[in-house]
Chains A and B, each alone.
Chain A
Amino acid sequence: MDIALEILSWGLLFVGSAFLVIGGIGVVRLPDVFTRMHGAGIIDTMGVGGVMSGLMIQAGFTIVTIKLALIIGFILYTSPTATHALARAALHGGVRPRGDETPEDESGQGNSSSKT
């Protein structure tokens, strides 16, 4: 394989692995369920995108590359949908984001449309 493609592939794999670990730390350390979704989003976009792109360059032009591109497409399409459904379920279940309580208590019109 060309040396430039090798360097690009391992660079992408390294960046993807770093973003995977960063997203995992975010899932553990962030204070709220809505902010933890941000950490999971880092795993789903930058982590998976970097690692799978590096593997695609490693594989060359074969059927493996098409399968990896399909996996990236499915994850990029389904991850925001699942996160959106989970956020709506959490809001409907009574979980409030941090910092959302104060204007609601003071003025009574913080997010009164979603309180039915």
Chain B
Amino acid sequence: MMAAVALAVLVTMALAVFRSIKGPTVYDRILAVNAFGTLTVVLISVYGFLSERPEFLDLALVYALINFIGTIAVSKYVEFSHMGRPTGGDELGDI
């Protein structure tokens, strides 16, 4: 039964990979990669229960945080071509 959950996660990961390859704009690709990272967290957790070794949850916990930082950094870098100082006066400077 737990293998069925893992299969659903894998199917959804395949759909996210399809969108990240096909996506017309770069924001579609960032969104698909973000969803893929979230699904990786779920897959690690489910695999920990599937193999009776729930110690994998530490990896899932770290991966959830790194996925968030990566998405923020990539969306800022794509938009402004640098990660540094906020652009003065522009309200969109600090996304």
Contact = CB atoms under 8 A, between A and B. Distances in A.
Interface of A: 10, 13, 16-18, 20-21, 23-25, 27-28, 33, 36-37, 39-40, 43-44, 47-48, 51-52, 54-55, 58-59, 64, 67-68, 70-71, 74-75, 78-79, 81-83, 85-86, 88-93, 95
Contact of A90 (B8, B13, B27, B35): B27
B49 A28 contact: no
Report the interface size class on chain B: 35 or more
Interface in B4-62: 4-5, 8-9, 11-16, 18-19, 25, 27-28, 30-32, 34-35, 38-39, 41-42, 45-46, 49, 54, 57-58, 60-61
Given A16-B5, A79-B68, A86-B71, 18 more contacts: A10-B1, A20-B42, A21-B11, A24-B12, A28-B15, A37-B31, A48-B42, A51-B42, A51-B46, A52-B45, A58-B49, A70-B61, A71-B60, A78-B65, A78-B68, A85-B71, A89-B27, A93-B27
Nearest to A74: B64
| Chain B residues touching A, majority SS | helix
B72 interface: yes
A21 B31 contact: no
6 contacts: A20-B8, A21-B12, A43-B38, A71-B60, A92-B79, A92-B92
B8 A17 contact: yes
